[in-house]
Every structure is written in C-alpha cells, then in structure tokens.
Structure 1
Amino acid sequence: MTLQSQESLNTLFINQIKNYAIFATDPDGIVTTWNKGAERLKGYTEAEIVGQFYGVLSPDEYQEAGLPERELRLALEGGVYEAEDWRKRKDGSFFWATIMLTPIFDEAGQHVGFTKITGDITKQKELQDQLAERQQSALDHKTTELKKVNFDLDNFVYTASHDLRSPISNIEGLMVLLRDVLEENHCLNSQINEIVNRVTASVDQFKHIILNLTEITRLQKDFSENPPEEVLNIQDVYDEIMVDLEDPVKNKVCFIQTDFQVHQLKFSRKNFRSIFYNLLSNAIKFQAEERSCVIKISTRLEEPYVVLHIQDNGLGISRHHQGQLYSMFKRFHGHVEGAGIGLYMVKRIVDNAGGKIEVESEEGVGTAFNVYFKAGL
C-alpha cells in the first residue's frame, strides 16, 4: 500500500466533506483550492473559481460596498471572522450561510492566505423566520386585544365619571340644603355639624377622584393619538407656569434659580408643560417649614437627551417610598393637599415619548428630578 503524504491525506479528507464549502485563498483573497462541498453548494467547479477573488461569492451589493475586503481585514485583525449572512451561488440564487474565515500563517509566522468554511442553513433560517412571524402575529393579535380592552376601559371610566357627576352634585346641593334646614330648626349641634362636615368632605374627595380619572383617561387618549410635537421655548413655558403659580408662590415664598443652557426642545407643548408644572408645583408644595425654600431649575444637553433638572431643599422622600413614587393615587405627605396622580402622569408621558426620569431624594434634605427628553430639532 502506497503511503500518502500528510498534505494529500488532508486534501482527501477535505474533499470528502460534502455538506460544507471549504476552500483556501491567498493573502489577497484569490481562491487557490476548492473542495467538492464548495462545488455542490456554490455551483462553481474548481476550474471555474480558482484564480478568482472570493468576493464573487457574495451578493453584488456586498461587493459594491467592499464587504469581502472588510471580512479579510477583520479576520486578519481578530484571528477569525464568523458570521451568518447571505451568499450567492453561480446561478445567482442566494442562501443563508454560516461563515468562518481564518487567516493562515506559515512556520515563520508569515501570513500566507485564508481558509473559508461555509455552511448552508437556509432551512433553519426559514424555520426561524416562520417562528418569528408566528410570534409576531400572536403579539400583534395580543396588542390589538389589549388596545380594545384599554379602549373599553377608557370608555367605561369616561362614562362612569361623566354619569357620576350629576348625582354627586345633587348630594352636594342636598348637604348644603340640609345644613340650612338644621340651622333654621336649631338642630345643628356640634355632633351633627361634625357629621355634615365629614359627609361634605367625602363628597369633595369623590369629586376630586372623578376629575382625576377623567384626566387619566384624557392622557391615555393623547397617547393613542400621538400629540403633535413642536419646537417650544423652555423659558416661555416656565413663564406661563409661574403666572399660574403666582398665588401659591405668594403664600409660600420660594427663591427660584434658573439656568436654561438649552433653550428649545422639540416636544408636545401641552405634555412638556404638564411635566414642568407638576414637578415645579410639587417642589413649592412640599417645602420644609424650618428653612427658606430654594428651587434650582436648569436644562443641559446630555446626548442623546436634553435634561430638565429641578432640585429643591424641601421635605424629601424616604428611600422606602421612592419605589412607589410613580404609582397612581400614592401620597407620602398627608398634610399637603393632592390626589397622587401628578407623578404618575409625568412618568407615563416621559416613558411614552421614549425618555426617562430619575430622582434623587433624602428625607429632610430635598429632592432632585432629572427628566430626559430625546434631543432632536
């Protein structure tokens, strides 16, 4: 039996592999060897492909973009280039392939070429695509169902809040009438007066809840309709808010410092005003009695965001409560009026616009909010 050289054994072994295209190139990517698997998978015979640049096996647009040359460079720099991508056969058809491109070095460490191993995983990709399509279809169906449920819930909340206004107003009017009748008949003693006051307070609380539910429904409706963005002037919005807060500021004096490094923002004006108003009014509302109220407001560019920063030296929020900060109807300071939906609405608006909100707070020291809006004019 004739002994074969190690090189001829390797060549024989490689040619026996029919399910993978295995070939070699010189340092410039010119094909120098070609196995039977490559002929079966790519469609070129050895005589047709040897001497050609291996990039001919890539789609035309890849060749025009210089991607084959980039693969050679990445393989040489990283020791190997691995990917899954489209490859082209001789007849022009495409298949989805696993690719491994490896540089070859001689004993002296000199770069002498590349080896390329390519496998056809088109069937696996088709199965993956079908699975992804089914998953997307199921997700779309689920999304449609959720939108319908949300729409029905919004309609229910709106209808309920609308229909409840009339009986609540009637109860409110009847309580006023009852108080008058009791006074006329000298029946309004301290105990009865306390009961009437509690019923009236409960009615007022009910009215606020209805108004808040209506506001949340309106907010959800705005999300579904995608409120138009505009280039707004931050200083102008601030000035408008300060006019609205004029009376509270007179009653609770605050020193407000502003530093608007970014003057304009592309955002829904109504929604930006709602965010700014809620955070600023909270800073004024939750000030500490034992020290002067100081609020610092600034804007800065922090790519890819414009950041609105509002910092106060007020009551602060305990670490325990910070995890519930954006929950609906959550209130952490009972001595101050509020419904507990302001920060919930702020978070919803910011999240829906692709931004984020962060808070740093220490009880008895103060709170700082950073609101991140996508920068783009």
Structure 2
Amino acid sequence: MAESTGLYQLLVDSVQDYAIFALDAAGYVLSWNAGAQRLKGYTRDEIVGRHFSTFYTPEDLATGKPAWELEVAERDGRVEDEGWRVRNDGTLFWANVVITALFDESDTLVGFAKVTRDLTQRRRTEESLRVSEERFRLLVHSVKDYAIFMLDPDGRVSSWNEGAQRIKQYTPGEIIGRHFSTFYTAEDLAAGKPAWELETAIRDGRVEDEGWRIRKDGTRFWANVVITAVRNGRGELMGFAKVTRDLTERREAEALAMESARRIAEAEAANRTKSEFLAAMSHELRTPLNAIGGYAELMAMGLGGTVTGEQQGYLEKIQRSQRHLLQIISDLLNFSRIEAGQIEYEVAPVPLQASIHSVRAMLLPQAGEKRIGLVLGPCPAGLCALADAVKMEQIILNLCSNAVKFTPEGGRVEVSCETRGDRVAVMVSDTGVGIPPDQADRIFEPFVQLGRGLTTQHEGTGLGLAISRDLARAMGGDLTVSSEPGAGATFTLTLPAAE
C-alpha cells in the first residue's frame, strides 16, 4: 500500500502540463507539483502554506470568488470554472480549474484537490476566430450591392444582410423564417425551380442561375443567383449560402446594345442597297440622257435640217436640262458613296495655286455670262496641301460655282489661299446676298438650298456643300463659312499643309 501511494505521488509530481495540488479545508496550499510550478511560477517553498486566493485577480477577489468556489465544491462535490488567473510574476493566463472536495470515512471535509490547465493559447485562437467571424458577419451584413443570406436545409431564410434588404425590400423581421421561394415568379414556382436549385446545390455543391425574381412590392428584377451547399466537418448539410446580384441595368444596357447593333446592321444593309440602287440607276439614266444630249447637239449643228432661231432656243433648253439632270445623278451617286465609305483617297502634296487657276479657267464662261469678276487673290507660290488633288479641285470648283450662282450680275468672286500654322486655307469670297446667321450650319446639310422657291432659278440638288464638307473632313480638313446678310459670304477650305 505504501509502495502504491509513493508511485501515485511520483506520478502527480512529474506531470508538467497540469497544475495538481492539494488544499486544506480552509483553502491553504498543502502540496505542489512540477506542473503547478511551471504554470504559476511559484516554487514549492514559495507557495505551500499560502491561501489559494493568491492566484486570483483583484476583480475575482473583490467578488469573493475563491470562497464561493470552495463552498460549491463542498456542497456539490466539485466545481469547474474558466477565467483569468495570476502568475507569480503578475502576468495573467486563462485557466480551466477543477476543484474537488475530499472527505474522510466519516464524511468530514479534509481538504480539496485542485487541477489547473493553461488554456491561454486556445482562448487566443478562439478569440481570434470569434473576432474573425464577427468581422466577416459585419462585412456580409454591411454589403449593399449583393444580397447575401443563409437558408436552413429546408430553404427557409435564416439570415439577412443590408444588400438583401435593399435589393428585395424585405426587412429581417419580415423575411427570416419564410421560404426562399417567396422571391420566385409564378412561372418558376409552377416549374418547381426553387426545389430543383436546392437539389442541384446538394448534389453538385453549388448552382448558378440568372432570371427574373420578385421584390416585396411585386416588381421584377433580373438576378444572378449563386446557391452553395454548406456542410459541417462530418459532411452533414447545415443549410445553404445564397448570393444574389441585381443585373437589371446590365441586362437593359445589353438589350440596348443589341438593338443598336441590329439597327446599325439594318442601316448598313439599307446603305448598301441604296448604293447599289443609285449605281444601277445612274447607269440606266446616264445612257438615255447622254443620247438626248448627243441628238440635241446634232440637231443644233443642222445635221437634220435647217434649225430656226426659235428651235435653237428650244435645243439650248433641252441641253441645259440634260446637263442639269446629269449633275443631279452625279451628286446623288457621290453622296451615296461617301456615306457608305466607298470613296478612296490618293493623298499627296497638291499645289494650291495651280488648282485654283485650273478651276478659274473652267468657270470663266459661267462668270462671263453674268458679268461677274472671277478674281485671283493672294496665294503664295509653292504653297501645297496634303490632299487628293481631284477631290480638292472638286471642292474648290463647287465653292466657286456656288459663289457665281448666288452673286448678282456685275458682282465679284475672289479666290485666295494662305498658311495657317500646320494647315493651309483656300478662301472663296463673293459679293452675293449672304447667309443669315441662323442658317450657317444648315447649308452643309444634305438637300438644303437656301432661298430656293417656286420663283428662283437656282438649280441643284442641295448636295454640293454636304459632299464638299464630307470630302474635306475625310482628308483631315474642314469646310466652314462666315457671312453677313447683304454683305456676301466667305467659304474657307482648310487642309493639312504638305511639308
């Protein structure tokens, strides 16, 4: 028996991870093992004979906790507690304490056995986890752009964040405990979609879906939904995590983009059809018009017989109308090609002075008929534009022709050029009626001719300026106008300067 008792005492004294010691009936330390010395920092000589309340914090001492624990242990046989305890050096550690009352054969209390474990590290881990979980909970709860909530295994809502309230309009008190099928449309409910989604999530771990969902007020929104099955460490289903995003605006934007793309495709197809039609019509119309012009010219030459003065006048009108129709067809075809992006540009340095001389030579007969002076203004020799020569001359010819057309008899049209930084400019000025300020932009619109009426004699399609500005901009330049009513107008063609 003595040998067994000695072995038991050796066992207790050798334990390093637990403080195991005895107290007398009043709570004074009677024994002290190696684990007690390691945990609490006292040697046997320092602590034996001192009251065990030495290990308690001032707060516990103030509430009488040591005496209360001994009373409970004596009454119930044992007491267990967790809390802060104090080491010899004054530092705190989190302890699990079990105090067991010891009675002799006559049930008289003879003392207490006290076992203490240091759970500081475990508490830190648990506290860290608790703080982490609290942060995560606060994070989830405060998210406003996503509805994030939990479902129990049957699909009933068990948590609700701010995003869910904003998107679905239910407060936590209104929705927690209700089945998540509340959010589904009548069509989805009839198809059994909510149950199918939970079954899929259980089988595959998660399910993702997009579709219409219902808010509290009955309105619909387009939702992206992810439902994830949540299981514990044993693989048992604990419920589901559900994340919902409101994609209504994105869906509407995509629908608008698709509609826009469809309209663009339709417009491009219409442009192609129009271009093909105009090309075909121009060919079909040019042939008889050229024939009309040719036969009228033969008749005017007298090859079919003598032509009277009156008949000569009629032939001139026929020829003028034929030329006018050919110009209309040419303008329509050019405008259509520009709109369809079918015009090619051969850009190279083009001498401005030579181009202006060439245009002037072509317009001298037209200007002479109205006794209009077609004047060459200042234009430095060697000044070149970086442009397509044919298209640049087409623009200048159109501007000069318009100026002659809209300038009264005896007036003046001047063409000049100059350098403007990295640009060159060609100016066509006239002494015509001018352009009202509120009409300055409209004259560049297709089919617009200012002053056209039943009594006017100005012919044309109203496409010349529209075509000219499109050509100028396609070559990196622009076409603008400045004018005062009654004081004429100045059209300015700007183009990149050639080095």
TM-score (norm 2): 0.40
Say if 1:151 and 1:202 are closer, same or farther in 2 by CA, change over 3 A.
Answer: farther
Query: Is 2:245 the counterpart of 1:245?
Result: no
Q: Cα distance, 1:289 vs. partner?
A: 4.5
1:170-205: CA deviation from partner (whole Å, max 9, x where unpaired): 555666788869976x9x695xx4xx8457625642
Contact 2:349 2:384 in 1 (8 A): yes
Corresponding position of 2:464: 342
Question: Which secondary structure state, in structure 2, belongs to the residue aligned with residue 245 of structure 1?
Answer: helix
In 2, Cα distance between equivalents of 1:292 and 1:318: 16
2:431 to 314, 336, 346: 314
Shift of 1:277: 3.1
Matched residue, 1:256: 376
Indicate how the Cα distance of structure 1 residues 270 and 20 shifts in structure 2: closer, same or farther if over 3 A, else same.
Answer: farther
Distance, in Å, in 2 between the alignment partners of 1:214 and 1:278 is: 13
CA shift, 1:332, in A, is 4.5
Task: Please state if 1:145 is matched with 2:145.
Answer: no
Instruction: For structure 2, list consecutive stretches of 5 or more residues without a partner in the other structure.
Output: 1-133, 145-160, 163-243
Counterpart contact for 2:376–2:416, Cα < 8 Å: yes
**Quick one: which of 430, 433, 447 aligns to 1:328?**
447
| 1:298 to 2:418 alignment | yes
Match of 1:275 among 385, 389, 395: 395
The answer as to 2:253 corresponding to 1:135 is: no
The one-character-per-residue Cα deviations of 1:37-57 (angstroms, maximum 9, x if unpaired) are 9xxxxxxxxxxxxxxxxxxxx
CA offset at residue 157 of structure 1? 1.9
- What letter corresponds to residue 310 of structure 1 in structure 2? M
5+ unaligned residues in a row in structure 1: which ranges? 1-11, 23-35, 38-121
Contact 1:331 1:338 in 2 (8 A): no
User: Does the CA-based 8 Å contact 1:309-1:368 persist in structure 2?
Assistant: no
**1:205 is matched with which residue?**
321
CA distance in 1, matches of 2:364, 2:284: 36
- Distance in 1 (CA, whole Å) between partners of 2:304 and 2:482 is 52
Q: Distance in 2 between matches of 1:277 and 1:172?
A: 23
User: Counterpart in 2 of 1:370?
Assistant: 492
With over 3 angstroms needed to count, the CA separation of the structure-2 counterparts of 1:350 and 1:177, relative to structure 1, is closer
Output the aligned Cα RMSD.
Answer: 4.9
Q: For 1:175-194, what aligned pairs fall within 5 Å after superposition?
A: 193=311
The offset of 1:367, in angstroms, is: 0.9
- Over 3 Å counting, the alpha-carbon distance change for 1:209 and 1:161 in structure 2 is same
User: Aligned equivalents of 1:140 and 1:374: distance in 2?
Assistant: 34
Report deviation, 1:228: 3.8
Q: Deviations over 1:89-117 (max 9, x none)?
A: xxxxxxxxxxxxxxxxxxxxxxxxxxxxx
Query: Is 1:227 aligned to residue 351 of structure 2?
Result: no
Letter paired with 1:248: L
The answer on whether the counterparts of 2:431 and 2:489 sit within 8 Å (CA) in structure 1 is: yes
Residue identity matched to 1:208: H
2:309 corresponds to 1:214: no
Determine the structure 2 residue equivalent to 1:358: 480
Give the drift of 1:316: 3.6
- Give 1:254 shift: 3.5
Tell me: higher relative CO, structure 1 or 2? Use CA pairs within 8 A at least 6 residues apart.
1
Q: Structure 1 CA distance, aligned partners of 2:324 and 2:263? A: 34
Amino acid at match of 2:354: D
Does the aligned pair in 1 maintain the 2:334–2:467 contact within 8 Å?
no
**Deviation of 1:139 (Å):** 2.1
Higher radius of gyration, 1 or 2: 2
Instruction: Give the Å deviation of 1:219.
Output: 4.7
CA contact (8 A) 2:378 2:417 kept: yes
Partner amino acid for 1:221? R
1:117-158 CA distances to partner (integer Å, 9 max, x unpaired)? Answer: xxxxx956x655554444333322222221221222222222
Question: Shift of residue 208 of structure 1?
Answer: 2.6
Identity %: 17
Correspondences of 1:35-54 after superposition (within 5 Å)? none
| Aligned ranges 1:72-87 → 2 under 5 Å | none
Q: Distance in 1 between matches of 2:297 and 2:396?
A: 38
8 Å contact from structure 1 (residues 262, 299) kept in 2: no
**Matched length:** 258
Query: Quick check: 2:388–2:475 contact (8 Å CA) kept in 1?
Result: no
Give the match's secondary structure for 2:324: helix
Counterpart in 2 of 1:51?
none
1:48-127 correspondence runs (5 A): 123=245
SS in 2 for 1:232: strand
CA contact (8 A) 1:329 1:341 kept: yes
What is the rounded CA distance, in whole Å, between the counterparts of 2:428 and 2:379 in structure 1?
Answer: 12
